[in-house]
Amino acid sequence: GAGVSQSPSNKVTEKGKDVELRCDPISGHTALYWYRQSLGQGLEFLIYFQGNSAPDKSGLPSDRFSAERTGGSVSTLTIQRTQQEDSAVYLCASSPGGAGSYEQYFGPGTRLTVT
Amino acid sequence: AQTVTQSQPEMSVQEAETVTLSCTYDTSENNYYLFWYKQPPSRQMILVIRQEAYKQQNATENRFSVNFQKAAKSFSLKISDSQLGDTAMYFCAWGSGGSNYKLTFGKGTLLTVNP
């Protein structure tokens, strides 16, 4: 079946502009994660959605970052007033959710460049 | 807080030889999971192998195996009969066995397989 998809693949934006990054999880997966991968770094957790529960936003670096998940499927990560330090690859992952389903399946990521 | 440390930023190995990538972690939890992910230049994160902390037996997936030392909090990855396609960044990751499955990643090891 189809894997996790993300769009756009690459995004170049000017400092101060808002951007929206999209994630389509694997069909039927109830858990969805956003991570950020900065150059030379590992993945940094941003936010986690599980079904209809309140999201875990503990990893969002500032209030310029927000995310929503509509209808328990597609998710959008929004960065307002982008800064150069926001340049990174943003990865989305999904998981079946529920007991024992700890493996996360990743999308190809969106490379964001803020000029 | 959980931390994952990969002490080898870069490694290289000759094709057909064996290489071991190191990973240590720090946690106060007793129930958790450990993963190795591979990220080739395409950016797609691919799960290589997983280990449940409650299992004493080391996980094996074809040419990939782990040496899990729970008391030492060590989780190394051994790649046997290395192939050119194994060239990639390898990330070690820790996940809680509780209700929030977000992963904590190390900074990665860049493995190059030379012909």
A87-108 pLDDT, tens digit per residue, is 999 999 998 876 556 788 999 9
pLDDT at A2 over 90: no
pLDDT at B27 over 70: yes
Give the per-residue pLDDT at B112.
97
Across A49-76, average pLDDT: 91
**What single DSSP character describes residue A84?**
G
Q: Which residue has the higher pLDDT, B63 or A30?
A: B63
Interface probe, candidates B23, B54, B90, B102, chain A, greatest A C-beta count within 10 A? B102
Residues 6+ apart with CB under 8 A from B82: B13, B14, B15, B16, B17, B18, B19, B63, B113
pLDDT band at B99, cuts 50/70/90?
low
Give the per-residue pLDDT at A103.
83
**Are the C-beta atoms of A56 and A39 separated by less than 8 Å?**
no
The percent of residues above 70 in pLDDT, for chain B, comes to 97
Nearest to A41 among B50, B102, B107 (CB): B107
Contact B91 A42 (CB under 8 A): yes
